[in-house]
Amino acid sequence: MKANTRKIAMGLLSLLIVTMLAACGGGQTTGGNGSENSGDQTDESNAVQGVTDSEILVGLVGPQTGPAAFFDASRKGVQSYINYVNENGGVNGKQLKLIAYDDQYQPAKTVQLVKRLVEEDKVFALLSPVGSAPNLAALDYYKQSGIPVIMMGTGQGKLVDPPVKNIIGESVINYGAEAKVFLDYAVNELGAKKIAIAYQNDDLGKEGLTAVKDRLGQYDGVEIVEEVNYLASDADFSSQAQKLKNADPDVVMNFGTPATSANLKKAMYKIGLKDVPYINNSVGANDPNLFKLAGEEVWNGTISGATLPMPEQSDDESARLYVERFSQDYPDDPLIGVGQSGWASAEVFVEALKRTEGELNWNNFLDAFYTFDNWDGSMYVGVTFSENNHFGLTSLFMTEAIDGEIVPISDTIHFNPETGDISY
């Protein structure tokens, strides 16, 4: 685990939270209107649009207004890091210019705005577009255009597995990979044999459930003794909690968003299911606000995982810089959460630009990502890519809610998506 003990964990992974819940609405776009570029797109491997001797154009689509406007903090994190980079000479002498549009988390609008960025603004690449549904809606166009799409704001496996050449990385750890690590931790570190699973009945929850089922056969004598599901809009979890208690599990694993995760644990606590370890996906567990939402006594003991530190409690160099710079650029925005993921994603993007050999075209830029091998130069605990691994975030550390704080309880754990191996 990099740096000192990381008091961590955040709800960066909150990022996905609302992302899966977000509603829609109308809206206006914000951002620039393009800039000069050195030429139109030529082909998928040799495009050099959006690049001049002095500038690189970068595009981003995400909700800035509407019900999911919370996630605009991701854009602010990206912009803040770009500000820092530009003030320190840019990348290889080129300034970065971000053009960002508001899709209000409406997938149809996402597709329109992505096309605008690529075909009218002529951006070189897309960075950290927000949300599972919006990115899935734009997936065919991503493939067709060949535009580099870097560090999407989601953990949705369908976007990176199987890998697509020009789609690189997600800013949230993959839901399925995380679930497999949690199962391994439950069995090998907690000694669990009887697993009960609760899951949100959508892509977020189902991906975690499927991953555990796919992996279960590798552990002798381990079985799923109960499965319960719920909707993101549910408020009453009494029946699910009772079924979980009746199953007498060694561990309860939950895959949901923060409100549902808190409500389920409150229901479990109310009927006396208090001492069984509760392992919750990071999307629904690592926001300190959950101590208020569930109640500190209730939420204490919740186990999860994280890829980012608590910025104000970390001695990590990237985290310190983020606190200083983001606070300066956006003094009214919270430091913890989505802004971190935007900043860290931009760190990965800039590092790839620096590593690009030869002409800065799409092919050379995309090849640069394959030189990342557990790179820890960003706020992320580690970033790895290969031709067969476009996940990016495959390293995390386990956390536990203790006395009103989320603290690390393990060293870094690595998941290899090519082999399925998990190492501590």
pLDDT tens sequence for the chain (424 residues): 444 444 333 443 333 333 333 333 333 333 333 333 333 333 555 668 999 999 999 999 999 998 888 889 999 999 999 999 999 999 999 999 999 999 999 999 999 999 999 999 999 999 999 988 899 999 999 999 999 999 999 999 999 999 999 999 999 999 999 999 999 999 999 999 999 999 999 888 999 999 999 999 999 999 999 999 999 889 999 999 999 999 999 999 999 988 899 999 999 999 999 999 999 998 878 777 789 989 999 999 999 999 998 787 788 899 999 999 999 999 999 888 789 999 999 999 999 999 999 999 999 999 999 999 999 999 999 999 999 999 999 999 999 999 988 889 999 999 998 899 999 9
Q: Would you list the DSSP string of 326-391? A: HHHH-TTS-SSSHHHHHHHHHHHHHHHHHH--SS--HHHHHHHGGG-SSB-SSSSS-BEEETTEEE
Cross-strand bridge partners of residue 100: 60
Tell me if 132 is assigned to some domain.
yes
Together in a domain, 300 and 329: no
Residues with Cβ within 8 Å of 237's Cβ and at least 6 positions away in sequence, in order, are: 230, 260, 263, 264, 266, 267, 268
Tell me if 2 is assigned to some domain.
no
CATH assignment at residue 191: 3.40.50.2300
- Alpha carbons 135 and 147: distance in angstroms, whole number: 13
Together in a domain, 93 and 110: yes
Q: What local confidence, expressed as pLDDT, does residue 284 receive?
A: 76
Total structural domains within the chain: 2
Together in a domain, 191 and 276: yes
Q: What local confidence, expressed as pLDDT, does residue 24 receive?
A: 34
Q: What is the C-alpha R_g of the chain?
A: 21
CA-wise closest residue to 15 among 130, 151, 109, 181: 130
- Alpha carbons 207 and 156: distance in angstroms, whole number: 8
| C-beta separation of 168 from 291 below 8 A | no
Domain enclosing residue 219, as ranges: 175-306+396-423
Tell me if 121 is assigned to some domain.
yes
| C-beta separation of 342 from 379 below 8 A | no
Sheet holding 125-127, edge to edge: 95-102, 55-62, 125-127, 149-152, 167-170
**Residue with structure tokens 């925005």?**
333
Question: What six digits make up the tokens of 96?
Answer: 């970065």
In 10 A of CB 247, how many CB atoms? 19
Q: What local confidence, expressed as pLDDT, does residue 5 receive?
A: 40
- Give the β-pairing of 422-423 and 413-415: antiparallel
CA-wise closest residue to 208 among 221, 219, 197: 197
- DSSP, collapsed to helix, strand or coil, labels residue 176 as helix
b/e for 392-404, b at 16 or more Cβ within 10 A?
A: bbbbbbbbbbeee
Q: What local confidence, expressed as pLDDT, does residue 3 receive?
A: 41
Q: What local confidence, expressed as pLDDT, does residue 34 receive?
A: 33
Q: What local confidence, expressed as pLDDT, does residue 44 receive?
A: 52
Tell me if 4 is assigned to some domain.
no
Together in a domain, 412 and 352: no
- Alpha carbons 260 and 20: distance in angstroms, whole number: 12
Together in a domain, 72 and 59: yes
- DSSP, collapsed to helix, strand or coil, labels residue 406 as strand
Q: Is 336 exposed, middle or buried (0-12, 13-18, 19+ CB in 10 A)?
A: buried
Together in a domain, 139 and 202: no
DSSP 129: -
| C-beta separation of 180 from 215 below 8 A | yes
- Alpha carbons 276 and 246: distance in angstroms, whole number: 12
Q: Which residue type occupies 225?
A: V
Tell me if 3 is assigned to some domain.
no
Q: What local confidence, expressed as pLDDT, does residue 29 receive?
A: 37
Q: What local confidence, expressed as pLDDT, does residue 223 receive?
A: 98
Question: What six digits make up the tokens of 302?
Answer: 């919740």
Q: Which residue type occupies 400?
A: E
Together in a domain, 273 and 333: no
Together in a domain, 43 and 179: no
Together in a domain, 21 and 126: yes
- DSSP, collapsed to helix, strand or coil, labels residue 53 as coil
Q: What local confidence, expressed as pLDDT, does residue 67 receive?
A: 81
Q: What local confidence, expressed as pLDDT, does residue 406 receive?
A: 85
Question: What six digits make up the tokens of 132?
Answer: 């599972």
Together in a domain, 267 and 406: yes
Together in a domain, 81 and 194: no
Tell me if 413 is assigned to some domain.
yes
Together in a domain, 201 and 228: yes
